[in-house]
Amino acid sequence: MTPELTEDQKLILETASAFASERLRPFAAEWDEKRRFPVDVIRSSAELGLAGIYVREDVGGSGLSRLDAVLVFEQLSMGCVSTAAFLSIHNMCCWMIDAFASEEMRVEWLPRLTSMELMASYCLTEPGAGSDAAGLRTRAVRDGDDYVINGGKAFISGAGDSDLYVVMARTGDAGAKGVSAFIVLKEDKGLSFGANERKMGWNSQPTRQVMFEDVRIPASRRIGAEGDGFRFAMAGLDGGRLNIAACSLGGMQEAQNRALAYVRERRQFGQAISDFQAVQFRLADMETETQAARTLLYQAARALDARAPDATRWCAMAKRFVTDTGFKVANDALQLHGGYGYLSDYGVERIVRDLRVHQILEGTNEIMRVIISRDMLRR
């Protein structure tokens, strides 16, 4: 751990670590195997202030920084990457409402979200609009004091179980300026969900399509002004990218810890395999790569907290590097386990599977390279 953390941040880290050790790690393998969404455990995180980490305190949030959030998700993902990742999505939804909604909306919705009375999912991606998010086609048409929404979203974490959905829908012409943001509730008539997708990882949370068929909601559930939704979504993704990078960081650290314990115990040719130089070199590379990832991620979080003009570039760099590195380190940890690493009992293969999607979501790492290079060339 970097010595630059304050005493308060060290306490935050310890609190999140204890929750991961007691409520996540002992059950992560079972949740993965049975595809069980641990809603009870997720809701209990609100007791520690983990349901509104960087939401203002007047509506039940913890009022913490982005660096604080990174520390939290790093620790939580050491217990269960998939469950920690869903908590990060809930927090992103809460932040968007806190940052961009009217005061009336903040007071109406956030106390119920920060207490986990309501669990939230984020709806941006569509079957035909992934990396090109501005090309989304779900449409919200104004009808008097209401909006009527039609369309569909894909790859939505928590869909079908979450109570509230932050939805990006088109209210204007094509392109980014025609997108607005809305709150849709699970019980709204016309909202339906597809089958739970069968996935390589993230099995402790459901992933479904969300369909809107003449879903009528009051105009008071629009977040901000018409046409500002895409800007809100992109702002939310800066923090979301830090959070998912933090989940990769925690996952790689957990995999490395398991590998280190294994090579000390496993014996071949009459000695612990940790005595072999090839193993030592791999461990050294894993530790170097993990610490490099941690340093970059913490710096990116500080840039976002400081509202630095190049914060988006830092968030993209951190997301690209940490998620790529996380998968590599976890895969190296599996290799050090030999054949046992391929077995579910040792837990490393689950971490590898869970980390793989981090290179795709919150903007693929190819898109991160586009963001980084464009900012470099613009300056």
| Catalytic residue (choose from 254, 289, 349, 362) | 362
Query: Do 262 and 335 meet the contact criterion of CB atoms below 8 Å apart?
Result: no
N residues, the chain = 379
Range of the domain at 373: 230-378
For residues 107 and 221, membership in a common domain is answered with no
- Domain-located, residue 308: yes
What would the pLDDT profile of 181-208 be if each residue is shown by its tens digit?
999 999 999 999 999 999 999 999 999 9
Largest CA distance in the chain: 80
Q: What are 265-268's contacts with CB under 8 Å, separation 24+?
A: 266/338
Beta pairing, strands 120-123 & 164-170: parallel
CATH number for the domain including 360?
1.20.140.10
Per-residue pLDDT reduced to its tens digit, 282-322: 999 999 999 999 999 999 999 999 999 999 999 999 999 99
pLDDT band at 135; cut points 50, 70, 90: confident
**What percentage of the chain reaches a pLDDT higher than 70?**
99
Q: What is the CATH number of the domain that holds 53?
A: 1.10.540.10
Whole-model pTM? 0.94
The confidence score (pLDDT) of residue 3 equals 53
- Three-state DSSP state, 272: strand
Instruction: Classify residue 2: in a domain, yes or no.
Output: no
Whose tokens are 């927090």? That residue is 91
Question: Closest by alpha carbon to 151, among 131, 177, 180?
Answer: 180
Phi and psi at residue 112, in whole multiples of 5°? -75, -25
362 is catalytic: yes
Q: Is residue 1 part of a domain?
A: no
Supply the pLDDT for residue 281: 98
Is-contact 69 50, C-beta < 8 A? no
Contact (CB, 8 A) for 329 and 256: yes
Which residue, 194, 227, 260, sits at the end of a domain? Answer: 227
Arithmetic mean of pLDDT, 166-186: 94
pLDDT over 60 at 6, yes or no = yes
Whole-number pLDDT of residue 2? 55
Both 177 and 308 in one domain: the answer is no
In a domain, 314, yes or no: yes
